C-alpha cells in the first residue's frame, strides 16, 4: 500500500467515478471505465457499499448514541458520506476521515474547510498508532467514549502479510466498550466469472493498491470477540451482502452488485 502518483489511477478516484462523482482524474476514469466494461455490476456494488456506510452510520448515531467516528480509508468525502448522514441525525457528531491518497486528502480538506467537527488526515490503515496519535484525531476523538470505527471497503487492499485481522484488533483495542465496528469487504469469487475476475485484477494492478478477494469465513474473522448485530429486522446477527445490510426489504435490496461483498456491524462488549 503506497501513496498514489499523478499518472496512475487510484482506488479512491475509481470509486468516485463509480458513484458519479467529479473528484477523479482522467487516469481514474479510464481505468474505471475498463472495469465497468468487464464487470458492469461494479457500479451497483459501489452504491450498495455506500448505502451500507450510510445505514450503518445512521444506526450507530440514531439508535446507539455514537457521536464520534473514525472513517479509515474514506476516499473522497463526497456523494453523501459520513458527515452528511450525521448532519441529518446527529449534528453535534464528529468525524475524522483518513485516507492514504494525498489527492483525496487535499480534495477533502478543500471541500470541508471551515467545518470544525470534521478532520481529514493522510494515513495508512496499516499504521494505527500514527492515525490514532494524529493531532486531528486527538482533537476530535475522545477515546474514553464510544467510537464508530468505519473500515468500509478498505481491508481488501491490505494483503495477508500485513495481518489485516490484527490491524482491526488494534483499532478496537484503542476504543472503549460500547464502540462499534462497521466493515465491508469484497468477496466476488462466487459471483463473477474467473476470466472477468482476472481481467479486472489486471486493471486494478495499475493502481498502487490492488484489491484482494477473501472468503466469507476470512471476513467473519474480522469480528472475533465482538457482538455482531442483526443486519435487518428479523435477521440473525452476522454478515450480510453489502446492499442488504440495514435494508427495509432485504429481498428487494438483493442484487448482483450487492452480492460482490459482505458487510456487518458489531459492538465491542
Long-range pairs, 132-141, Cβ under 8 A, ≥24 = 132/171, 132/174, 134/96, 136/96, 137/70, 137/96, 140/68, 140/94, 140/95, 140/96, 141/68, 141/70, 141/94, 141/96
3-state DSSP call for residue 209?
coil
Q: Per-residue pLDDT averaged across 38-65, rounded?
A: 92
Residue 86 within any structural domain of the chain? yes
Residue 26 within any structural domain of the chain? no
Please report which helix (H) or strand (E) contains residue 174, including its range. none
The sign of the torsion formed by the CA atoms of 13, 240, 68, 133 equals negative
Q: Say which DSSP state 267 is in.
A: E
Residue 144 within any structural domain of the chain? yes
pLDDT tens-digit map of 135-147: 999 999 999 999 9
Domain with 148 in it: what CATH number?
3.40.50.150
Q: Residue 231 in contact with residue 240, Cβ under 8 Å?
A: yes
Give 46 or 171, the one with higher predicted confidence.
Answer: 171
pLDDT tens-digit map of 194-205: 556 666 777 878
Name the least confident of 123-132, 148-157, 251-260.
251-260
Q: Would you state the pLDDT for residue 218?
A: 96
For the chain, how far is it from start to end, CA to CA, in angstroms? 31
Residue 254 within any structural domain of the chain? yes
Residue 27 within any structural domain of the chain? no
Q: Would you state the pLDDT for residue 2?
A: 46
Where does residue 245 rank: exposed (0-12), middle (13-18), buried (19+ CB within 10 A)? buried
Residue 177 within any structural domain of the chain? yes
Q: Would you state the pLDDT for residue 78?
A: 72
pLDDT tens-digit map of 53-74: 999 999 999 999 999 999 999 9
d(CA 74, CA 167): 16
Domain count, the chain: 1
Range of the domain at 173: 48-189+211-267
d(CA 11, CA 29): 11
Residue 89 within any structural domain of the chain? yes
Pairing, β 118-122 against β 261-267: unpaired
d(CA 223, CA 221): 5
Q: What number of other Cβ atoms are within 10 A of residue 185's Cβ? A: 28
Residue 180 within any structural domain of the chain? yes
Amino acid at each position: 500500500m503506497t501513496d498514489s502518483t499523478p499518472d496512475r489511477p487510484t482506488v479512491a478516484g475509481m470509486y468516485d467515478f463509480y458513484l458519479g462523482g467529479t473528484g477523479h482524474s482522467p487516469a481514474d476514469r479510464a481505468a474505471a471505465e475498463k472495469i465497468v466494461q468487464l464487470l458492469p455490476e461494479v457500479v451497483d456494488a459501489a452504491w450498495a457499499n455506500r448505502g451500507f456506510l450510510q445505514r450503518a452510520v445512521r444506526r450507530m448515531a440514531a439508535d446507539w448514541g455514537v457521536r464520534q467516528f473514525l472513517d479509515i480509508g474514506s476516499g473522497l468525502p463526497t456523494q453523501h458520506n459520513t458527515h452528511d448522514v450525521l448532519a441529518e441525525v446527529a449534528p453535534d457528531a464528529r468525524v475524522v476521515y483518513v485516507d492514504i491518497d494525498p489527492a483525496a486528502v487535499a480534495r477533502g480538506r478543500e471541500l470541508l474547510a471551515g467545518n470544525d467537527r470534521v478532520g481529514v488526515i493522510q494515513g495508512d490503515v496499516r499504521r494505527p498508532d500514527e492515525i490514532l496519535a494524529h493531532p486531528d484525531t486527538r482533537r476530535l476523538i475522545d477515546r474514553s467514549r464510544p467510537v464508530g470505527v468505519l473500515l468500509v471497503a478498505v481491508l481488501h487492499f491490505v494483503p495477508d502479510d500485513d495481518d489485516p485481522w490484527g490491524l482491526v484488533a488494534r483499532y478496537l483495542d484503542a476504543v472503549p466498550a460500547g464502540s462499534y465496528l462497521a466493515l465491508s469487504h469484497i468477496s466476488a469469487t462466487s459471483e463473477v466469472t474467473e476470466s472477468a475476475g482476472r481481467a479486472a485484477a489486471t486493471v486494478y494492478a495499475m493502481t498502487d493498491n490492488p484489491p484482494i478477494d477473501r472468503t466469507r469465513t476470512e471476513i467473519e474473522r474480522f469480528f472475533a470477540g465482538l457482538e455482531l448485530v442483526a443486519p435487518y429486522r428479523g435477521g440473525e446477527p452476522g454478515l450480510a451482502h453489502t446492499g442488504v445490510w440495514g435494508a427495509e426489504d432485504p429481498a428487494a435490496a438483493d442484487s448482483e452488485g450487492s452480492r460482490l461483498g459482505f458487510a456487518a456491524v458489531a459492538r465491542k462488549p
